[in-house]
Amino acid sequence: EQLIKYFSDTAVVVRSSAPGEDSEKTSFAGLHESYVNVRGIDSIMEHIRLVWASLWSDAALLYREELGLDINHSSMAVLVQELVAGEVSGIVFSKGPENNNQMVIEAVHGLNKGLVDGDVEPDRWLVDREKKSIIRHSGPSVRGKIVRLKETGTALEKLPENLSDTIPLKEKDVLEIHYIALELEKKFGLAQDIEWTKRDDDIYVLQSRPVTISQNSEKLWYLSLRRNIDNLHTLRKKIEDKLIPEMISDAKLLQSINPALMDDNKLAEEIIRRKKLYEEWNKRYTDEFIPFAHGMRLFGQVYNDRVKPSNPYEFMDLLSGSEMLSIKRNEGINRLAGILRNDASLMDKAKNGVVEGDFAEGLEKLFRDFGHSGIFKTRKDLLGHIIKLASNPEKEKQDQEDSSELERSFISAFEEEEKGFAEELLDIARISYRLRDDDNIHLGRIEHQYLLSLNEAKMRIAARSDKLDPEDNFELEELVKALRDSAYIPEKKMRISREDVTLHEKKNVRQIQGQPAGEGIVTGRARVIDEKQDLFDIKSGEIMVCDSIDPNMTFVVPLVSGIVERRGGMLIHGAIIAREYGIPCVTGIPDATKIIANKDEVTVDGYLGIVTIRKGEGKY
């Protein structure tokens, strides 16, 4: 009757509340189920039962056993509260886990569920409790996800582009949350772990519980990661057992179908089919492959917390390995370049398009294995890059610390009963790192097959008129219409040249502050990458300027002397490979490809994260 009175037509949250256990000694945050956007009395009653049932989940039982609580006498209240759907949500610890003079605030776009479940990586602020000032803000490697309401329940969706570069909170919001946290701490007499949401200009407190202060708080913190680890295990199984085999199968099927042998109508249908397939895989990549990369970030946090290395990215040496597809490809390219570099006669023949012997066999195998990934369209493209690489001194990778020694240091930082958890986390991180790389290669193969069908259509249509060229841009609908109607001449899309952009859109900026991602300082001529074909224009010693580097692009890195990337973070592909080769790198430069033009003289300071630009053609 009370539920009908208050919540008959209202969207509510149904969540656990265990006062006897969520105390200053223990916290069950994230271990019991909670449900958002529940509507209707029958549904509310059903979800109350589901929350009660989560009292007996594997994770909750394991946690009680670790704490020495009597499993047979566990109990739980269930809280039903009106849903406040904020534009931004987050948590705040009124006292930081490492420094009681600091407060930690985390925020994400959308609802809190993504943050609590570990599906959405937050922005984080450290705030000085007494001075009421922000000490430091750090953003995620990429803001890519948001949890939103559906008609009932919630959905994890791709973050709209206009929000991907938007910090969720302004300074005044951070300081208001700081004030609220101090007031709640004063009221309850203990440091608080608070969930909040922001709607319009108002901050709503959704839940406040004591921060655990047990002597075993470190152990509790790792146990509270259990749900994250369990989610990652589930996702790993799905990716390895289902998604990647399906992606490989789809790519092989497309490779077996030659668009050049189809008549125009069949080709039109094939283009539509390939576009749909690529879009479906692109969505699955965003929804399921990208979240799995959280395993790598999670490991980095735990490694640094336990080992406390002088280099905060030392943990990456434990993850990188030769099993990744992009590394196998790059090693194959470098091996063939080494053969040419050491054999002048073979080099001369290769420059004339003649290959033979072991080199020819190696080139054929490399193209067979990786020629369908969308970068090297022909054997000639691949050979041209190998010749360019061989014409320059070999760039050695940086020596990495012995990973077996690092692994021993990491595992030994845990108590005996926690070592299994540490090994499990390391295993997840390594798989996360490898799949994060490989899935790009597999997706690139499907994209490549889609683009092949488009290119075939453009060649046929360009042959109908001397006013058209296969390099022209056409809307997809125009191409399909022209294939179905031989008399139809499609309209070309206006192509905006880089020179036009330079004249009208370039910003006259001399110095930009980004994030240091690869140590060193270098000056060179800029090479701006707007599309993947631009990679083949890179000359030795140039500064590569791009939106983001994916594994399909890393083969050019040995040629460049520095990297400037729009995307931010130390764990993105550009930053990782820059550190491998000891190349200065700065990430997180908004509009990098619009501010910097080809032939600008650019200085990359990978220590301070500063990029200095001298407009016009430099001396390099």
> Tokens at residue 418, please?
């926690």
Q: Which of 340, 359, 390 is the last residue of a domain?
A: 390
Residue 289 has pLDDT above 90, yes or no: no
For residues 520 and 583, state if they share a domain: yes
Q: Please name the helix (run of DSSP H) or strand (run of DSSP E) that holds residue 270, with its range, or none.
A: helix 264-284
In whole angstroms, give the CA distance from residue 590 to residue 578.
Answer: 19
Give, in degrees to the nearest 5, the angle at Cα 387 between 386 and 393.
90
CB 556 within 8 A of CB 562: no
Phi, psi of 290 (to 5 degrees): -60, -45
For residues 305 and 439, state if they share a domain: yes
In whole angstroms, give the CA distance from residue 264 to residue 186.
Answer: 74
Question: Which of residues 35 and 182 earns the better pLDDT score?
Answer: 182
For residues 274 and 369, state if they share a domain: no
Is 267 part of any domain? Answer: yes
Residue 618 has pLDDT above 70, yes or no: no
Total count of domains within the chain: 5
Instruction: Please give the average per-residue pLDDT across 188-195, as a whole number.
Output: 88
For residues 147 and 185, state if they share a domain: yes
- The rounded radius of gyration (Å) of the Cα atoms in the chain is 28
Q: pTM to 2 decimals?
A: 0.56
* pLDDT tens-digit map of 510-566: 888 888 888 889 999 999 998 888 888 899 889 999 988 877 787 888 889 999 998
For residues 341 and 234, state if they share a domain: no
For residues 211 and 233, state if they share a domain: no
Question: How far from the centroid of its chain's Cα atoms is residue 463's Cα?
Answer: 42
DSSP state of 373: S
Q: Could you give the C-alpha distances from 163 to 109, 166, 315, 477, 586, in angstroms and in order?
A: 8, 5, 30, 29, 22
> Quick check: helix, strand or coil at residue 556?
helix
Q: Please name the helix (run of DSSP H) or strand (run of DSSP E) that holds residue 220, with its range, or none.
A: helix 217-223
Q: Please name the helix (run of DSSP H) or strand (run of DSSP E) that holds residue 189, with its range, or none.
A: none
pLDDT value of position 376: 76
pLDDT value of position 18: 59
Grade residue 90 by pLDDT with cuts at 50, 70 and 90: very high
Is 455 part of any domain? Answer: yes
For residues 292 and 422, state if they share a domain: yes
> Tokens at residue 34, please?
């909670």
Q: What percent of the chain has pLDDT over 70?
A: 84
Q: Which of 82, 117, 146 is the last residue of a domain?
A: 82
- What b/e readout covers 294-314, taking b as 16+ CB neighbours within 10 angstroms? bbbbbbbebbeebeebeeebb
Query: Domain of 25: which CATH number?
Result: 3.30.1490.20
Is 620 part of any domain? Answer: no
Q: Could you give the C-alpha distances from 162 to 104, 158, 168, in angstroms and in order?
A: 26, 11, 12
Is 188 part of any domain? Answer: yes
Q: Which residue has the tokens 């990549």?
A: 285
User: Average pLDDT, whole number, for the chain?
Assistant: 81
Question: Which of residues 573 and 435 earns the better pLDDT score?
Answer: 435
Is 494 part of any domain? Answer: no
Q: Name the most confidently modeled range: 17-21, 208-212, 577-581, 612-616.
A: 612-616
**Residue 374 belongs to what domain range?**
325-390
CB 224 within 8 A of CB 31: yes
Grade residue 584 by pLDDT with cuts at 50, 70 and 90: very high
Instruction: Please give the average per-residue pLDDT across 607-611, as a whole number.
Output: 88
CB 603 within 8 A of CB 619: no
DSSP state of 510: S
Instruction: Please give the average per-residue pLDDT across 592-620, as a whole number.
Output: 84
CB 513 within 8 A of CB 609: yes
* pLDDT tens-digit map of 219-267: 434 444 555 677 778 888 888 899 999 999 999 999 999 999 999 999 9
For residues 99 and 190, state if they share a domain: yes
Q: Please name the helix (run of DSSP H) or strand (run of DSSP E) that holds residue 94, with its range, or none.
A: none
Grade residue 112 by pLDDT with cuts at 50, 70 and 90: confident
Is 493 part of any domain? Answer: no
* pLDDT tens-digit map of 366-384: 888 877 666 777 788 888 8
> Tokens at residue 283, please?
């969505």
For residues 172 and 114, state if they share a domain: yes
In whole angstroms, give the CA distance from residue 573 to residue 554.
Answer: 8
Question: How far from the centroid of its chain's Cα atoms is residue 176's Cα?
Answer: 30
Is 223 part of any domain? Answer: no
In whole angstroms, give the CA distance from residue 317 to residue 400.
Answer: 6
For residues 107 and 198, state if they share a domain: yes
In whole angstroms, give the CA distance from residue 514 to residue 507.
Answer: 16
CB 599 within 8 A of CB 617: yes
pLDDT value of position 220: 39
What 3 state SS string does 300-351 have?
HHHHHHHHCCCCCCHHHHHCCCCCCHHHHHHHHHHHHHHHHHCCHHHHHHHH
Phi, psi of 552 (to 5 degrees): -70, -15
Grade residue 19 by pLDDT with cuts at 50, 70 and 90: very low
In whole angstroms, give the CA distance from residue 597 to residue 616.
Answer: 8
> Quick check: helix, strand or coil at residue 353?
coil
Q: Could you give the C-alpha distances from 353 to 341, 452, 465, 534, 559, in angstroms and in order?
A: 16, 24, 32, 22, 22
Q: Name the most confidently modeled range: 107-121, 198-212, 426-440, 591-605.
A: 591-605
Q: Which of 35, 51, 82 is the last residue of a domain?
A: 82
In whole angstroms, give the CA distance from residue 233 to residue 264.
Answer: 46
pLDDT value of position 151: 73
In whole angstroms, give the CA distance from residue 523 to residue 4.
Answer: 69
Burial of 31 (0-12, 13-18, 19+ CB in 10 A): buried
Q: Could you give the C-alpha distances from 503 to 304, 594, 614, 616, in angstroms and in order?
A: 47, 11, 16, 12
In whole angstroms, give the CA distance from residue 155 to residue 144.
Answer: 14
Is 110 part of any domain? Answer: yes
Query: Domain of 506: which CATH number?
Result: 3.50.30.10
Grade residue 507 by pLDDT with cuts at 50, 70 and 90: low
Q: Please name the helix (run of DSSP H) or strand (run of DSSP E) that holds residue 207, with its range, or none.
A: strand 202-210
In whole angstroms, give the CA distance from residue 416 to residue 403.
Answer: 21
For residues 94 and 234, state if they share a domain: no
What residues does 91 pair with on adjacent strands? Answer: 106, 195
Residue 402 has pLDDT above 70, yes or no: no
Q: Could you give the C-alpha distances from 297 to 123, 226, 293, 428, in angstroms and in order?
A: 14, 15, 7, 11
For residues 106 and 68, state if they share a domain: no
Other Cβ atoms less than 10 A from the Cβ of 266: the count is 12
